[in-house]
Amino acid sequence: MAIDIQTLKHRYIDSCKDWNTVPNKAVFSAFVKVHFIVLIGAEVNKLENEESSFSIFLDDLEGVDFHPLYNVFVLIDMSEIDAVDILQKSSCSLDADSVLLLLHAVHHKLRVVDLQDRTFGKDFLLGLSSGGLACQVLHLKFSHFRKVNMTGKFMQMRTLNLDFSASLTSFGKDCFSCTPNLKCLSLCATKISNLWTTSASLAKLPSLTELRFQSCLCRDDTKACPRSFGAKPDENTSYSPTQETAEEHTYAYPNDEDELINLFLIGTYNNSVHGTVNEYDDSTDSEVDFSDTLPGNSLLEDFSWNGLLDLRNEIFPRGSEEDADESWAMSRPISRVSRRKHRFDHPSPICYEKHYRDYMIASFPNLKILDNQPIRRAEKDRAAVVYSDNFEHLPYKRTNKESIVSILKNREIKAAKNTTSYTRSVGASRVGCAVFPSLRPLSIKSSTMPRVDVGTTSFRPRQFEYHPCNSNLMVIGTLDGEVVVVNHESEKIVGYISSHGATNSVLGLCWLKKYPSKLIAGSDNGVLKLYDIQHTPSTAVTFDGFDQLTSVHVNSLDELFLASGYSNDVALYDISTGQRLQRFSNMHQEHINVVKFANHSPSMFATSSFDHDVKMWDLRQKPIHPCYTVSSFRGNVMVCFSPDDHYLLVSAVDNEVKQLLAVDGRLHLDFGIAPTRSSQNYTRSYYMNGGDYILSGSCDENVVRICCAQTGRRLRDISLEGKSSGSSMFVQSLRGDPFRDFNLSVLAAYYPSSRPEIVKINMLSSKDADKDSLSDEHLHAAQGLSGA
């Protein structure tokens, strides 16, 4: 027989006497209220299928209230109380351990937990994760964690709200595997930005129907914006979905009693949520593991948030996509914009991704509400088209993930046919399995090179280049003027050249192809040298200097090289004689950032300048006039030829990345990467996978973008995460591995410490390599296939 409310209340009073404390008024009031509902409103509740709930605010409790209340909570599962809500407005006098004990004291009848995690800190999160919770609704706003890894079981959870967790950047791969019944997830004002890793994590939620990354502020609290669903703007009315179909949602107007009940269900008690988010950005390095809890039955069958989000079509109605694209705002969240009297705020960075809404709708066909805007059938159809036009689900236009084993068996059976097809099939399958790619910093220290006095314990890389012939070698130029040749697989140094004098940065590096032990290195102080890594540095050939050098490049015959820098000129050198042959003046109106020879035509080269122009030149015609000139909207940072010389890849400031036909400069592709509106966001792009894909990164962002070089469709974004609290990684330079498909390296800088390092990225291997990687035989077989 269940314990009645009166008995439970007397137990509480007796416990207060035992602990020599006065009964808490708020607790006593909660007993009176629930008793009133059970006795007086029994018939009404029965008819309306409502539950009798015991609701307590932690703000009303003192330390002396803990033991009496705990002694009651352990009995609630055996009482006639249907549900317990533990809530918090802003502050709490109880310590974190006491709150955890109260949460764990209630098991299957715990319904809503609404806390401000900033009150308790990271230890509270760890304690919460170790025991789990049986609640149905968890509001854990202002949390401290940077990465959530929910690996336990939260079988009863229907709603999770992590709004204003300003340090939250990502999720563990399987973090939602333990919440199969989660229907509603809110992630407003977080730092989540990656469409691909986010969708892979959320794919573990088969019951997810409502998702939001941004919120509407047309009200002062977090209740619903009635205009969002075409309802009358009654400030005193809340709305909840009562009947849903694939085509539309019907909303009911609750009465005042429902309003009171919904207030407790939703837990919209914090009226200070509009404060500055960065104020609480005190993230930690630890991942949070939400682990085992006992399974339970569902008590809360449905839930809809109060508080609505960015309605894109309120600003850009259907049919005006062209205007929206011109203004760069079509897929952007609206921050404090007033249109039709709506106010929107608190977008997470993911909302700024181009085609964000279409991507999410196409990725989650069971989703009914995104950012509090109902998803209708017409929008689903449109999203499928947008997704197909702008994203690659798998590399090389593959629609279905193939089995690696079957691919390799087919290769053995049909070894004489189309090796390229097998290469692409293997790459597509393995990239599809590794949504969370492996990122590994390249660790090179002086201790790895015995018998050589390097003089430093670690290096500060400024530039790097893969070797064109030896798949294991890489040369690194440092901020201290050193040239380091390293085996990037074993992380062993195989050659070292010190700065020999004044500190300078090595900005220009280029290997010779016919003489694979030789390389050209140029420093910002103008020093240019040819080194042979098989000989001592004293045998280096010194060329005439080029002041404020930024770039060097050798032609395809290893006969000549070019140098450019912070001037309008380009210098041409003869490698065999060590002489500077000519200095071409005034090739651009502003300084020339990069000069590049073609890969197969020894006389053709291209220059890119901050005067917005890219120019093609031919040494056979004496480069007085360019073959053609193509202008960008912003200053050009980078230009390079495709491996087959058919295209020029041009990168201008702030993500303006285009592919031109090398023969005449006509536009072939505009990759449409969204700008950040920063004039200092220097963008660099290169080819990978033999020219099948391009990779692009910018110095104000921590993202590497991978796009198809033939269609421009986005394959994947790779986010770089800083190791320590408060640090961010930004892309300074990057290169695709010429020998390994879907492998690349990134020169990343950490701010505010500005400590650079090279990060190796393997898109074919997951972070959880022990779970996802293939056997060594399969790896070697796949890598042995020739590229396209």
Q: What is the pLDDT of residue 537?
A: 82
Instruction: Report pLDDT for 222.
Output: 36
Q: Examine residue 558 and state whether it is found in any structural domain, yes or no.
A: yes
Average pLDDT across the chain, whole number: 79
Residue bearing tokens 């950490």:
750
User: Sorting pLDDT into bands at 50, 70 and 90, what band is 588?
Assistant: very high
Residues 762 and 654 in one domain: yes
Structure tokens at 213: 């990354």
The domain boundary, picked from 366, 384, 402, lies at 384
Could you tell me what percent of the chain has a pLDDT over 70? 74
Residues 475 and 597 in one domain: yes
Model confidence band, residue 367 (pLDDT cutoffs 50, 70, 90): very high
Question: Counting Cβ atoms within 10 Å, is residue 2 exposed (0-12), middle (13-18) or buried (19+)?
Answer: exposed
CB count within 10 Å of CB 115 equals 24
Q: Are strands 604-609 and 592-597 parallel, antiparallel or unpaired?
A: antiparallel
Q: Which amino acid is at 250?
A: T
**Is 237:191 a contact under the CB 8 Å cutoff?**
no
Indicate the range of 211-215, 292-296, 379-383, 487-491 predicted with least confidence. 292-296
What confidence score (pLDDT) does residue 401 get?
74
Asked whether residue 633 carries a pLDDT value surpassing 80, the answer given is yes
**Same-domain check for residues 757 and 662:** yes
pLDDT tier for residue 753 given thresholds of 50, 70 and 90 = low
From 219-233, 255-269, 336-350, 448-462, the region with the lowest mean pLDDT? 255-269
Handedness of CA 263, 266, 267, 271 (dihedral sign): negative
In a domain, 35, yes or no: no
Q: What is the pLDDT of residue 597?
A: 98
Q: What is the pLDDT of residue 397?
A: 83
How many domains in the chain? 2
Answer yes or no: do 316 and 361 share one domain.
yes
Sign for the pseudo-dihedral over CA of 188, 189, 193, 194 = negative
Given pLDDT bands bounded at 50, 70 and 90, which one contains residue 43? low
Taking the CA atoms of residue 71, residue 77, residue 80 and residue 86 in that order, the dihedral angle to the nearest 10 degrees is 70
Residue 639 counted as domain residue: yes
> What's the rounded mean pLDDT across residues 168-190?
88
Task: Note whether residue 427 is domain-resident.
Answer: yes
Q: How far is CA 544 from the centre of its chain?
A: 45
Instruction: Give the CATH number of the domain where residue 513 resides.
Output: 2.130.10.10
pLDDT at 757: 92
Residue 318: Cβ-neighbour burial (10 angstroms; 0-12, 13-18, 19+): exposed
Higher pLDDT, 592 or 335: 592
Q: How far apart are CA 731 and CA 750, in angstroms?
A: 9
Task: Cite the beta strand spans of 436-578 per DSSP E.
Answer: 437-441, 461-466, 473-478, 483-487, 492-497, 506-511, 518-523, 528-532, 541-543, 549-554, 560-565, 570-574
* Residue 406 belongs to some domain of the structure: no
- In this predicted model, what pLDDT tens digit does every residue of 125-164 receive, in sequence order? 877 777 788 899 999 888 877 888 777 678 899 999 999 9
Alpha-carbon separation of residue 502 from 11, 453, 454, 458, 691 (angstroms): 80, 18, 16, 19, 39
pLDDT band at 724 (very low <50, low <70, confident <90, very high): low
Q: Is 748 helix (H, G, I), strand (E, B) or coil?
A: strand
Grouping H, G, I as helix, E, B as strand and the rest as coil, residue 19 is coil
The residue type of 173 is K
SS (H, E, C) 202-268: HCCCCCCCEEECCEECCCCCCCCCHHHHCCCCCCCCCCEEEEECCCCEEEECCCHHHHHHHHHHHCC
Residue among 783, 678, 683 at smallest CA distance from 734: 683
Q: Tens digit of pLDDT for each residue in 668-715?
A: 999 999 999 999 999 999 999 999 999 999 999 999 999 999 999 999
Helix axes 66-73, 96-105, angle to 10 degrees: 20
Lowest mean pLDDT among 86-90, 364-368, 561-565: 86-90
DSSP string of 79-103, one letter each residue? BS--EEEEE-SS---S-HHHHHHHH
Confidence (pLDDT) at 751? 74
Convert the pLDDT of each residue in 313-359 to its tens digit.
Answer: 332 333 333 333 333 333 445 433 334 444 557 899 999 999 999 99
Q: Are residues 690 and 638 in the same domain?
A: yes
More confident residue, 528 or 306: 528
pLDDT (0 to 100) of residue 414? 63
pLDDT value, residue 635: 96
pLDDT of the residue at 344:
57
- Compute the distance between CA of residue 561 and CA of residue 543 in angstroms, rounded to an integer: 11
The whole-number pLDDT of residue 594 equals 97
Residue at 82 is within a domain: no
What is the distance between the alpha carbons of residues 510 and 465, in angstroms, rounded to a whole number? 7
Q: Which of 737, 735, 734, 762 is nearest to 748 (CA)?
A: 734
Q: What is the pLDDT of residue 215?
A: 81
More confident site: 511 or 221: 511
The tokens describing 543, both together, are: 């060329």
Local confidence band at 771 (pLDDT 50, 70, 90 cut-offs): very low
pLDDT band at 107 (very low <50, low <70, confident <90, very high): confident
Question: What pLDDT, on a 0 to 100 scale, did the predictor assign at position 583?
Answer: 95
| CA distances in angstroms from 520 to 46, 507, 508, 540, listed in the order given | 84, 11, 8, 10
Are 213 and 351 within 8 A, CB to CB?
A: yes
- Tell which of 384, 411, 428 closes a domain: 384
Is 27 among the domain residues?
Answer: no
pLDDT of residue 433: 79
Structural domain boundaries, residue 475: 419-779
Tell me phi and psi for residue 714, to 5 degrees. -75, 125
> Of the ranges 45-54, 388-397, 456-465, which is most confident?
388-397
Which 8-state DSSP code applies to residue 181? T
Residues 631 and 752 grouped into a single domain: yes
Name the token pair of 769: 């390599």
Query: Is there a single domain that holds both residue 564 and residue 628?
Result: yes
* Whether 332 and 428 share a structural domain: no
Q: Is the pLDDT of residue 770 over 60?
A: no
Tokens (6 digits) for 250: 């019907």
Residues in the chain: 788
Res 35: pLDDT: 79
Smallest Cα–Cα separation from 103: which of 32, 143, 154?
154
Contact between 671 and 712 under an 8 Å Cβ cutoff? The reply is yes
Which is higher by pLDDT, 308 or 492? 492
Is 194 found in the same domain as 304?
Answer: yes
Give the domain-ending residue among 384, 404, 436: 384
pLDDT of 294 > 80? The answer is no
Q: Are residues 539 and 473 in the same domain?
A: yes
673 and 717 part of one domain:
yes
Is residue 326, in this structure, part of any structural domain at all?
A: yes
Whether 564 and 638 share a structural domain: yes
List all residues 6 or more positions away from 92 whose beta carbon is below 8 Å from its beta carbon: 58, 59, 61, 99, 116, 119, 120
How far apart CA 633 and CA 651 sit, in angstroms, is 11
